[in-house]
């Protein structure tokens, strides 16, 4: 079996596992009928979309395989930052001192999945919403814009997310 065929099988299986995981999370059922239906739907959709879900060129970068121990640390930091930011946003709203702004900055992340994880992490953190991700350029609406300087604003918004995501995905 040639490497291209092996990678196609791996892409198919990764797509199937991802879809099946989503099925279980959304249905929240481990009933045999539900699992069989989810597996059949996952296999069918994987067969149709695996080439779109994971690009063929991604094989060399192995960018879809996270380092689990660093990913768990990343999730802990994200959840902590979400709670801290929610209290900060509440405090700014109570005081009535909100200074919204749009900031532009770049990320040094190379993996597409890491960039998407960064944008979602920024959006999940209260007070910031990612408006656009274009290659390595991000546009973010920031509720308490402390600066418009792109590098400084990027460092404040990205925080530890970017450094952790660099280590999560190879």
Q: Are residues 53 and 125 in the same domain?
A: no
**Helices 112-124, 161-168: crossing angle, 10 deg rounding:** 150
Instruction: Tell me the residue range of the domain where 157 lies.
Output: 68-168
Spatial distance between the Cα atoms of 1 and 8, rounded to a whole number of angstroms: 11
Looking at residue 64, what is its pLDDT? 62
Q: Are residues 73 and 50 in the same domain?
A: no
Q: Are residues 93 and 135 in the same domain?
A: yes
- pLDDT per residue over 78-134, tens digit each? 999 999 999 999 999 899 888 899 999 999 988 888 899 999 999 999 999 999 999
- Residue 143 C-beta-side C-alpha neighbours within 13 Å: 18
Secondary structure of 28-75 as H, E, C letters: CCCCHHHHHHHHHHHHHHHHHHHHHHCCHHHHCCCCCCECHHHHHHHH
Q: Which of 8-12, 44-48, 55-59, 81-85 has the lowest mean pLDDT?
A: 55-59
Percent of the chain predicted with pLDDT > 90: 42
């Amino acid at each position: 079996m040639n490497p291209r065929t092996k990678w196609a099988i791996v892409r198919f299986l990764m797509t199937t596992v991802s879809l099946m995981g989503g099925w279980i999370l959304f249905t929240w059922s481990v009933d045999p009928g539900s699992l069989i239906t989810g597996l059949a739907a996952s296999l069918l959709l994987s067969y149709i979309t695996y080439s779109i879900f994971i690009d063929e060129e991604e094989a060399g970068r192995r960018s879809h395989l996270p380092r689990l121990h660093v990913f768990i640390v990343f999730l802990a930091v994200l959840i902590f930052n979400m709670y801290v930011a929610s209290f900060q946003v509440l405090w700014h709203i109570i005081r009535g001192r909100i200074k919204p702004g749009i900031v532009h900055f770049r990320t040094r992340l190379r993996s597409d999945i890491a960039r998407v994880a960064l944008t979602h992490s920024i959006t999940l953190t209260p007070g910031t919403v990612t408006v656009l991700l274009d290659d390595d350029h991000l546009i973010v609406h920031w509720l308490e814009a402390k600066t418009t300087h792109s590098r400084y604003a990027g460092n404040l918004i990205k925080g530890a997310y970017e450094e952790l995501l660099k280590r999560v995905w190879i």
